[in-house]
């Protein structure tokens, strides 16, 4: 009997339509059969913001198109592509789907698209909650017969990676996400992410790693050719493989994956995964620049106390600031206030260094600074 979790990983050299269709079809074949496809099937993409696909901020539309076509050919009559992006974009639905390329592909194939907030949010309690006893979750996802999560390989300045598990963070409403970000504890956000993920675990997962984001992800990093499409029936297993692609020798050194491994079904070590379509030694992307983090260099029992000393801090680069006020709106602890003329000022005593302001800043004016201690530890 082989390892209990299967992940397929298939080379994909570009977003050329035929190349993507072949890679997605092979990844799905190697992964195993689709879960029962009872309509509606929701394809939960990563559509963080209205960004051009070339920036690698969002799931590429060709991946979404190829997957949707496979679902339709398998007999599913109702496929919906959706997400619930950062709340500052919730009134930009038309722009979101136009800029990310989703609207265009849905004109070509019999699939629809929409925000996962359309049907409102239901108050639910996650099983065995870690930090969030109750939360508000997309009603659209809760009533869906089948959910397929399609994540984008990216770094994340707070959680180090964003993949299959983190992708479901978008299923929660704004207030829930602010609560998840609003604590100083290193493990509070990972625990809250797992709380949200466990409410409605997708039935299948696909990873767009043809191009990924390195550096200061998930929105202001740099696009980087990686060259893979991967799939699995287990989100943690897929995140293990993503971590290896990004150069992590031990995926459980990432706090989010460490927390998840203790709470949800999934591998405890690499040997628990049967990798199909590639060999482990082929996966790492040479020279891939991960998000700066010194936390893994600190013993686990000291990480909570040391979090503030080594985590990244937001810093305003005033030359790029357009004084739009978005950073003030998204701050979960209201630590950013306007100065005369609308310039933002960060109250360092109140700031919890969640970096939501950095993630949502439309111009990249809210940058990040790494502490001297963090640089020395790395």
CATH of the domain at 361: 3.30.70.20
337, pLDDT greater than 70: yes
Structure tokens given for 174? 């704004």
334, pLDDT greater than 80: yes
Instruction: Please indicate, yes or no, if residue 288 is contained in any of the structural domains.
Output: no
Between residues 304 and 369, the one the model is more confident about: 369
- Model-level pTM? 0.91
Helix (H) or strand (E) segment spanning residue 316: strand 313-316
377, pLDDT greater than 70: no
Residues 6+ positions from 304 with CB-CB distance below 8 Å: 185, 186, 187
If we measure between CA atoms, which residue out of 49, 142, 246, 123 comes closest to residue 256? 246
278 and 300 both lie in a single domain: no
Residue 238 has what pLDDT? 98
If we measure between CA atoms, which residue out of 213, 238, 80 comes closest to residue 157? 213
Query: What is the C-alpha to C-alpha distance for residues 282 and 273, in angstroms, rounded to an integer?
Result: 15
326 and 255 both lie in a single domain: no
Instruction: Please indicate, yes or no, if residue 287 is contained in any of the structural domains.
Output: no
Structural domain count of the chain: 2
277 and 337 both lie in a single domain: no
Is residue 53 within 8 A of residue 160, CB to CB? The reply is: no
Last residue of a domain, one of 230, 250, 282: 282
Among 24-33, 160-169, 353-362, where is mean pLDDT lowest?
353-362
User: Could you write out the DSSP letters of every residue in 123-154?
Assistant: EE--SS-SS-SSEEEEHHHHH-SEEEEEEEEE
238 and 170 both lie in a single domain: yes
pLDDT > 70 in the chain, percent: 92
167 and 210 both lie in a single domain: yes
Per-residue pLDDT, averaged over 78-85, amounts to 95
Query: What is the C-alpha to C-alpha distance for residues 172 and 185, in angstroms, rounded to an integer?
Result: 20
Residue 129 has what pLDDT? 96
Residues spanned by the domain of 56: 5-282
94, pLDDT greater than 90: yes
Between residues 272 and 301, the one the model is more confident about: 272
Instruction: Please indicate, yes or no, if residue 188 is contained in any of the structural domains.
Output: yes
Residue 297 has what pLDDT? 46
Residue-wise pLDDT for 27-50, tens only, equals 999 998 788 788 799 999 999 999
Phi then psi for 134, rounded to 5 degrees?
-135, 155
Residue holding tokens 């109140």? 350
If we measure between CA atoms, which residue out of 98, 115, 84, 81 comes closest to residue 208? 81
Residue-wise pLDDT for 257-290, tens only, equals 999 999 999 999 999 999 999 999 999 999 999 9
Last residue of a domain, one of 237, 259, 282: 282
Query: What is the C-alpha to C-alpha distance for residues 359 and 114, in angstroms, rounded to an integer?
Result: 22
Between residues 89 and 27, the one the model is more confident about: 27
274 and 235 both lie in a single domain: yes
4, pLDDT greater than 60: yes
Query: What is the C-alpha to C-alpha distance for residues 72 and 143, in angstroms, rounded to an integer?
Result: 20
308, pLDDT greater than 70: no
Residue 302 has what pLDDT? 45
151, pLDDT greater than 50: yes
If we measure between CA atoms, which residue out of 86, 40, 60, 99 comes closest to residue 206? 60
Last residue of a domain, one of 282, 316, 341: 282
71 and 159 both lie in a single domain: yes
């Amino acid at each position: 009997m082989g390892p209990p979790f299967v992940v397929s990983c298939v080379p994909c050299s570009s977003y050329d339509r035929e190349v993507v269709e072949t890679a997605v079809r092979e990844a799905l074949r190697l992964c195993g059969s689709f879960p029962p496809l009872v309509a509606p099937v929701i394809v939960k993409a990563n559509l963080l913001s209205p960004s051009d696909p070339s920036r690698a901020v969002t799931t590429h539309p060709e991946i979404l198109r190829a997957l949707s076509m496979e679902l339709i050919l398998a007999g599913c009559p109702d496929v919906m592509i959706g997400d619930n992006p950062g709340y500052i974009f919730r009134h930009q639905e038309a722009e979101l789907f136009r800029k990310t390329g989703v609207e265009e592909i849905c004109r070509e194939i019999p699939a629809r698209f929409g925000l996962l907030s359309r049907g409102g949010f239901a108050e639910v309690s996650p099983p065995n909650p870690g930090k969030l006893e109750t939360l508000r979750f997309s009603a659209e996802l809760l009533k869906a017969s089948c959910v397929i999560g399609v994540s984008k390989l990216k770094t994340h300045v707070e959680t180090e990676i964003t993949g299959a598990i983190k992708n479901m963070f978008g299923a929660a409403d704004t207030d829930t996400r602010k609560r998840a970000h609003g604590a100083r504890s290193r493990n509070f956000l990972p625990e809250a992410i797992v709380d949200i993920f466990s409410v409605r675990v997708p039935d299948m997962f696909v990873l767009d790693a043809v191009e990924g984001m390195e550096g200061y992800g998930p929105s202001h990093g740099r696009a980087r050719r990686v060259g893979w499409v991967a799939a699995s029936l287990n989100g943690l297993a897929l995140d293990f493989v993503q971590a290896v692609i990004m150069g992590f020798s031990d995926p459980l050194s990432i706090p989010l994956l460490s927390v998840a491994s203790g709470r949800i079904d999934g591998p405890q070590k690499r040997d628990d995964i049967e990798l199909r379509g590639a060999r482990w030694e082929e996966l790492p992307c040479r020279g891939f620049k991960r998000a700066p983090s010194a936390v893994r260099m600190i013993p686990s029992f000291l990480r909570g106390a040391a979090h503030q000393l080594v985590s990244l801090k937001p810093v305003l680069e005033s030359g790029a600031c357009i004084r739009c006020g978005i950073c003030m709106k998204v701050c979960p602890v209201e630590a950013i206030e306007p100065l005369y003329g609308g310039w933002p000022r960060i109250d360092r005593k109140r700031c919890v260094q969640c970096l939501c302001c950095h993630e949502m800043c439309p111009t990249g004016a809210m940058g990040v600074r790494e502490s001297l201690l963090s640089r020395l530890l790395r």
